[in-house]
Chain A
Amino acid sequence: MTHIDAIIFEPVGSLTDSLLAPPYDDARPALTELKALGLTLIAASLLPQNELTRFLDSSGLRGFFDGVSTVEATRGDRGAMLRNALDAAQIAPDHALFITDSADGLAAARAAGVHGILMMNDPDEAMKLTAHNPAGGIVSLLELPDLVRFVSAGHSAHFGGG
Chain B
Amino acid sequence: MKKIAVYRPTSTDEAIRILSSHGTEAAVYAGGTDLLVRLKNRLKQAPAYLVDIKKINDLRYIREDANGGVRIGALTKLAEIVDSELIAKRYPMVSKAIGMISSPELRNASTLGGDLLQEVWCQYLRGGYSCWRNGGYLCYGAIGDNSYYHSAMGGRLCYAVYPGDAATALIPYDATVKLATPTGLQELSLEKLVPGDMMVDGRIQSHVVRHNEILTEIFLPAPRPNARTSFEKLRPRGVWDFAMAALALNLEMRGSVIDDARVVFGGIAGKPVRERAVEDYLRGKTLDAALIEQVVPRALTNAAPLKYNAMKIEMAKGLLASGLDKLRT
Contacts and interface: CB of A to CB of B under 8 A. Distances in A.
Interface of A: 118, 120, 123-124, 126-127, 130, 134-140, 142-143, 146-147, 149-150, 153-159, 162
Interface in B99-148: 130, 132, 135-140, 142-144
A159 B142 CA distance: 21
A26 to B, nearest CB: 10
Nearest to B198: A146
A134 B132 CA distance: 13
B144 A147 contact: no
B234 to A, nearest CB: 24
B157 interface: yes
9 contacts: A118-B138, A123-B144, A123-B307, A127-B144, A130-B143, A143-B156, A146-B157, A153-B199, A155-B203
Most B CB contacts (10 A, CB to CB) among A130, A134, A155, A156 go to A155
B111 to A, nearest CB: 27
B137 A153 contact: no
A134 B130 CA distance: 12
Per DSSP, chain B at the interface is loop
Interface in B142-181: 142-144, 154-157, 159
A126 B202 contact: no
A136 B139 CA distance: 9
Contact of B154 (A137, A138, A140): A140
Interface residues of B, number: 23
| Chain A to chain B: the 10 pairs with minimum beta-carbon distance, closest first | A137-B138, A153-B202, A123-B143, A162-B135, A136-B137, A158-B137, A126-B143, A139-B142, A123-B307, A127-B143
Nearest to A140: B154
Nearest to B129: A130
Given A123-B306, A138-B157, A150-B204, A156 B135 contact: yes
Contacts of B210: none
B94 to A, nearest CB: 33
Contacts of B60: none
A124 to B, nearest CB: 8
Contacts of B138: 118, 120, 130, 134, 136-138
Contacts of B202: 150, 153-155
